[in-house]
Chain A
Amino acid sequence: MLAPESMPRPLGLLAELTHRCPLGCPYCSNPLTLDKRSDELDTETWARVFCEAAGLGVLQVHLSGGEPAARRDLEQIVKAARDAQLYANLITSAVGVTAERMRALADAGLDHVQISIQDSEQKSADHIAGYEGASQRKRALAAEAVKLGLPLTINMVVHRANIERVEPMVELALNLGATRVEIAHVQYYGWAMKNRAALMPTREQVERAVKEVEMLRQKHRGRIVIDAVVPDYYARFPKPCVGGWGRRSLNVTPAGRVLPCHAAEVIPGLEFWNVREHSLEDIWRNAPAFNAFRGDDWMQEPCKSCAMKEKDFGGCRCQAFLIVGDARAADPVCHLSPHHARVEELAQMRDETAYAYRG
């Protein structure tokens, strides 16, 4: 347990407004069992959560899902975030968002919009999204957002089917008027685990893509910011997952459960509290799930005596559980983990059959 004065303050809140989504991306990191529409928090509760978040020190709220625009009250939710002095970021598939809706969201005070694009080749993009015509709609809405003066990020999730097209994707983002592009290698959680062998790129592909991103950063410096989420099955060191458990961010599910990270519910035995029953501050400080992996008391070797623990926090707890079967183990992505060979094995597995889409 940490003394109150050393309790870290979160910077960001991921607000998963709904799990409903028109797309069926095989790399979706949402859980296998989704929250039902009838269980979703109402507008007033989200507004209260935003005020409590601001009181905790949160500066940015990321409105996500599912497709957040599936909620009819999204404009009110954006306004509530701004009224709480938060930076309002919308993470959208763009499918089902009309030009008028985008204008209303901009008028409500939206600060930034992130649109996902599955591939620079439209046919492939629609196949990955499991939605005919999705790509065209995304491009149209991206243009609309830029016309309204909103800053735009294009998010491209990278895997075996599109990894050869990082450069055309960055070109597309530039042509659409984006000021930032995310090249995000698939993170294998939730539904994405079902498709891991179908999505996994080869080591050669990953190495080429990483070099390409570096080259593109130099080439386009000053024109577009390129951020990358690393392909961790091929890494030697683990990612500092969510900036450390219960340190920088929190996540509220559509039904109001508060998680230290998006995938945390996969870890058995954790007790999550709900914003319907507790204030966000109470949850941040006292919910058992948040204190489970704070600090380093929970660590085992090789993490416990490792100098890197201050930087990577032992990596990802969910990945340790999913691959090693123990959430307190070192993230097996780390070459010092006794289970690292298992990650290398998993990265070799290939399935060339069709993706599993959500039914």
Chain B
Amino acid sequence: MSEQPKAAVSPTACPRLPRGVRLVHNEAQGGWLLLAPERVFKADAISAEILKRCTGETTVDAMVDDLAKSFNAPRDRIFADVTILIGGLADKKLLEL
């Protein structure tokens, strides 16, 4: 289990991938991957959906609304998933808030 992120994720923040971090799709490697300084992370389907929305132009709130609608899932649960993922990635310098 991932520990509680240190970074506080505000609902009005617009997270984005910093320079040097890229989300790519690669068939040979089996799907979505996050390329970072000297590291590669596999992104599962849900993480990839969240990361695709981290463009620096969408608030966390809007992202959660959109995902809750797209996946027909309870908003509270999506909000919890999104903030844990985003906070954890911010701790690893893979996202900017």
Residues of A within 8 A of B (CB): 9, 11-12, 56-57, 59-60, 62, 85, 87, 89, 111-112, 114, 149-151, 153, 179-180, 221-222, 224-225, 227
Of B7, B19, B90, most A-chain CB atoms within 10 Å: B19
B35 contacts chain A at the CB level, 8 A cutoff: yes
B72 contacts chain A at the CB level, 8 A cutoff: no
Q: What are 29 sample pairs from A and B whose C-beta atoms fall under 8 A apart?
A: A11-B40, A12-B40, A56-B28, A57-B29, A59-B26, A59-B29, A59-B35, A60-B35, A60-B38, A85-B24, A89-B37, A111-B20, A112-B20, A112-B38, A114-B37, A114-B38, A150-B19, A151-B20, A151-B21, A151-B93, A153-B37, A179-B18, A179-B37, A180-B37, A221-B6, A222-B7, A222-B90, A224-B93, A225-B93
Residues of B within 8 A of A (CB): 6-7, 18-22, 24, 26, 28-29, 33, 35, 37-38, 40, 90-93
Complex CA gap A57/B40 in Å reads 13
- Which residues of chain B are near A112, meaning CB under 8 Å? 20, 37-38
Picked from A59, A62, A114, the residue with its CB within 8 Å of the CB of B33 is A59
Q: Which residue of B lies closest to A57 (CB)?
A: B28
- Which residues of chain B are near A221, meaning CB under 8 Å? 6, 91
Q: Is the CB of B90 within 8 A of A9?
A: no
Complex CA gap A222/B3 in Å reads 13
Complex CA gap A53/B86 in Å reads 31
Q: Which residue of B lies closest to A114 (CB)?
A: B38
- Which residues of chain A are near B6, meaning CB under 8 Å? 221-222
Picked from A89, A149, A150, the residue with its CB within 8 Å of the CB of B38 is A89
- Which residues of chain A are near B22, meaning CB under 8 Å? 87, 111
- Which residues of chain A are near B24, meaning CB under 8 Å? 59, 85
A251 CB to nearest chain B CB (Å): 15
B95 CB to nearest chain A CB (Å): 11
Q: Which residue of B lies closest to A224 (CB)?
A: B93
B89 CB to nearest chain A CB (Å): 11
Q: Is the CB of A179 within 8 A of B38?
A: no
Question: Quick one: given A221-B6, A222-B7, are A151 and B28 in contact (CB under 8 Å)?
Answer: no
- Which residues of chain A are near B35, meaning CB under 8 Å? 59-60, 87, 111
Q: Which residue of B lies closest to A180 (CB)?
A: B37
List 9 tightest A-B contacts by C-beta distance, closest first: A151-B20, A57-B28, A112-B37, A179-B93, A222-B6, A87-B35, A112-B20, A222-B91, A221-B6
B9 CB to nearest chain A CB (Å): 12
- Which residues of chain B are near A153, meaning CB under 8 Å? 37-38
Question: Quick one: given A60-B38, A60-B40, A180-B37, are A151 and B92 in contact (CB under 8 Å)?
Answer: no
- Which residues of chain A are near B93, meaning CB under 8 Å? 151, 179-180, 224-225
- Which residues of chain A are near B37, meaning CB under 8 Å? 89, 111-112, 114, 151, 153, 179-180
Complex CA gap A62/B26 in Å reads 19
Q: Which residue of B lies closest to A12 (CB)?
A: B40
Complex CA gap A179/B93 in Å reads 7
- Which residues of chain B are near A111, meaning CB under 8 Å? 19-20, 22, 35, 37
Of B7, B38, B91, most A-chain CB atoms within 10 Å: B38
- Which residues of chain A are near B40, meaning CB under 8 Å? 11-12, 59-60
- Which residues of chain B are near A151, meaning CB under 8 Å? 18-21, 37, 93
Complex CA gap A12/B40 in Å reads 9
A248 CB to nearest chain B CB (Å): 10
B6 CB to nearest chain A CB (Å): 4
- Which residues of chain A are near B20, meaning CB under 8 Å? 111-112, 150-151
Complex CA gap A149/B18 in Å reads 9
Complex CA gap A180/B21 in Å reads 13
- Which residues of chain B are near A227, meaning CB under 8 Å? 38
- Which residues of chain B are near A179, meaning CB under 8 Å? 18, 37, 93
- Which residues of chain B are near A62, meaning CB under 8 Å? 38
